[in-house]
Amino acid sequence: MCRMREIFEARLQALARTHRQLTISTMDAVSLDDIIRSELNGFPSQTTIEGDEIFLDYQQAQRFSLAIHELTTNALKYGALSSSTGGVRIGWSVSNNGHGRDLKFRWEEHGGPRVVMPTREGFGSSLLKAAFEKTRMDYGPDGFCCEIEAQVADGR
């Protein structure tokens, strides 16, 4: 029971960080870069973060906040951030599609323990697939990789 409570509280804290960023902002939006850096601020030497400037509205920001939290948690428990030699490359690009904007996001782990394909789908994987229709996960032996494609409106 205690472990379940810790997990639930960690997810609430991730949402609270995004809410705080939105409250501080003079806009009704927060940048994807800020969401990612807020979650990974304890791992500057193990992370590379780069992408196009994009501001997400409240709903999109909350979804990405939960996604980044889940990816970080799994990397700490099982993946690249569980090892001092591991790291994560996070990148994204934004393009106009005539009806909105397409966001292509990539989380790529390297240098951590050998990746083992899970025997069942966990909560984090289920959450990612529920939050983002186009989610691909690759459990390659050299590192876990997650790609997300989403249509977004620039929240500015």
Question: What pLDDT is attached to residue 129?
Answer: 92
Tell me the whole-structure pTM to 2 decimals.
0.82
Q: Are 48 and 148 in contact (CB under 8 A)?
A: no
Q: Report helix, strand or coil for 43.
A: coil
Strand partners, 51: 92
Question: What pLDDT is attached to residue 53?
Answer: 92
Tokens of 5: 């409570």
Confidence at 12, pLDDT banded by 50, 70, 90: low
More confident position, 57 or 94? 94
Look at residue 84 and tell me whether its pLDDT is greater than 90.
yes
Q: What is the mean pLDDT of residues 19-30?
A: 58
Q: Kindly provide the residue ranges of all beta strands, DSSP E only, lying in 3-142, ordered along the sequence.
A: 29-31, 47-51, 55-57, 87-96, 101-110, 134-140
Look at residue 4 and tell me whether its pLDDT is greater than 50.
no
Question: What pLDDT is attached to residue 33?
Answer: 96
Name the amino acid, one letter, at 86.
G
Question: What pLDDT is attached to residue 70?
Answer: 93
Of 39, 35, 41, 2, give the one whose Cα is nearest residue 21: 35
Which domains are delineated in the chain?
2-152 (3.30.565.10)
Confidence at 8, pLDDT banded by 50, 70, 90: very low
pLDDT tens digits along 88-147: 999 999 998 887 889 999 999 999 999 988 899 888 888 899 999 999 999 998 899 999
